[in-house]
Amino acid sequence: MTHTEYLWFNTKERQEFVRITDDVRHAVKKSGVKEGLVLVSAMHITAGVYVNDWEEGLIEDFQAWLEKLAPYGLPYRHHQTGEDNADAHLKRTIMGQQMILPITKGDLDLGPWEQVFYAEFDGQRRKRVVIKVIGE
């Protein structure tokens, strides 16, 4: 059995982190799958998905850490093509494009503090995430 849903985003900020755990959980429940896997994948090369703790200080730490690793506004070679978002591509590579999560007894099988997030690094335009539920 499979089920596919899409989440659409148009963030207000260039860089933003959005908790999507409830959306993924809803897609799993809607699918009817009791035992299986769910793929969550950002469908844009300047956005990612990841699993971690839902704590505002930690989210701010991620943002500060990523900005140190790939600062906005440097003269990246990618910018020679007319783009200005090389930092967003690098940040997405660090945080990840997709994940596969377990489904047990019809629900996401996450650890006690684990939450699913959409990470936007070049926002303020429409983007999407695919949720693909597979199982029985």
What is the number of domains present in the chain?
Answer: 1
- Tell me: the pLDDT tens digits for 20-65? 999 999 999 999 999 999 999 999 999 999 999 999 999 999 999 9
* Amino acid type, 24: V
Beta bridge mates, 107: 104
H or E stretch at 118: strand 114-120
**What is the structure's pLDDT at 39?**
98
Threshold 0.85, pTM exceeds: yes
Quick one: DSSP state of residue 32?
T
125 C-beta neighbours (distance < 10 Å), count: 11
CATH of the domain at 125: 2.60.120.460
**What is the structure's pLDDT at 16?**
97
Quick one: DSSP state of residue 113?
T
Domain of residue 39, residue span? 2-135
* Distance from C-alpha of 117 to C-alpha of 22, rounded to nearest angstrom: 10
